[in-house]
């Protein structure tokens, strides 16, 4: 059973705190992965690494691709959190951006940056799979 209630000021402060904490953790992770990405790029560009002939591990190109993908995912999550914080600021947080209906509190607790109610999220996921 979903709870479809309007969020009060205390709820908004709670979710803002959760989102800011997640954003802080993401900033740390982005800093670390950015440094790692810079190191791999530098190694690829130095011309001294002979990683293509190392049978023991991944090539620098493979490592760059993997780290680059993780970095992109973290940036996308960071953007989603920023959008949720903006919705708190403009008073639209907790409302589905597709239908305007309240997002269940359980969903917001599980995914504080959620922009869609569970029904819309399921519909869009089903469309992607089709």
The predicted structure's pLDDT at residue 5 = 60
Calculate the dihedral angle through the C-alpha atoms of 99, 100, 104, 107, rounding to the nearest 10 degrees.
70
Q: Output the pTM of the full model.
A: 0.77
pLDDT at residue 51 is higher than 70 = no
Does residue 42 have a pLDDT over 50? Answer: yes
Contact 93, 107 (CB under 8 A): no
Phi, psi of 118 (to 5 degrees): -60, -35
118-130 tens-digit pLDDT? 999 999 999 999 8
Q: Which of 36-45, 53-62, 82-91 has the lowest mean pLDDT?
A: 53-62
């Amino acid at each position: 059973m979903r709870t479809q209630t309007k969020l009060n000021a205390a709820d908004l402060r709670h979710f803002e705190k959760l989102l800011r904490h997640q954003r802080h953790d993401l900033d740390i992770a982005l800093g670390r992965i950015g440094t790692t990405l810079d190191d791999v790029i530098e190694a690829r560009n130095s011309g001294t690494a002979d990683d293509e002939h190392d049978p023991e591990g991944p090539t620098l190109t493979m490592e760059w691709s993997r780290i680059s993908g993780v970095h992109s995912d973290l940036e996308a999550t960071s953007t989603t959190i920023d959008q949720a914080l903006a919705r708190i600021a403009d008073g639209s947080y907790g409302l589905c951006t597709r239908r305007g209906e309240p997002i269940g509190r359980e969903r917001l607790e599980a995914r504080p940056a959620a922009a869609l109610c569970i029904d819309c999220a399921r519909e869009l996921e089903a469309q992607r799979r089709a």
